[in-house]
Amino acid sequence: MTAIAVEDSQIVGAITVWRPSVQDRYSIVEPMNVLPTHRGRGIGVRLWRFIEAHSSERGDRGLRVWGIDGNRGASHFYGSTLKLQPVGVGTFWIGQHREAATEYRQDFARDGETQRPFDANP
């Protein structure tokens, strides 16, 4: 599913979520973008919250997303603004070009369950 943000009849942001084929798994967010002229105004958070509500209602376990570490804006957005948990590291590559990346995760709280705090140094 793709959700878009519209302002004055112009698409200013978009987010796509790939839902799992079975319930109780994570959805993957890829990609999400906000127009450069419209960044830093809360559109990204609102797009994320919209997808979060949709996936949660559909019974997904949570959301996962990858961010390239060199993309400081994305790292800040996922790690600090949304406070997602960093849960893995990996590499993106195109041809010979490689970029270190981090996987972030958001778990949805479910009835009778409490969220365990993430321990970065277990």
Ligand X SMILES: CC(C)(COP(=O)(O)OP(=O)(O)OC[C@H]1O[C@@H](n2cnc3c(N)ncnc32)[C@H](O)[C@@H]1OP(=O)(O)O)[C@@H](O)C(=O)NCCC(=O)NCCS
Provide, rounded to whole angstroms, the least separation between the CB of residue 41 and ligand X: 5
- Cβ neighbours of 55 (radius 10 Å): 22
Q: Which is nearer to ligand X, 32 or 63 (CB)?
A: 32
Q: How far apart are the first and last CA of the chain?
A: 35
CA angle at 105 for the pair 90 and 114, rounded to the nearest 5°? 145
Residue number of the CB closest to ligand X reads 44
Strand (E) positions, 10-118?
10-18, 26-34, 62-68, 85-94, 97-107
- Decide: is 90 part of the binding site for ligand X (CB under 6 A): no
81 binds ligand X (CB under 6 A): yes
* 51 near ligand X, judged by CB under 6 A: no
Give the pair of three-digit tokens for residue 35: 């127009």
Stretch in the footprint of ligand X (CB under 6 A) among 19-27, 71-79, 89-97, 106-114: 71-79
Using CB under 6 A as the criterion, which residues of the chain lie in contact with ligand X when the complex forms? Answer: 31-34, 39-45, 67, 71, 73-74, 76-77, 80-81
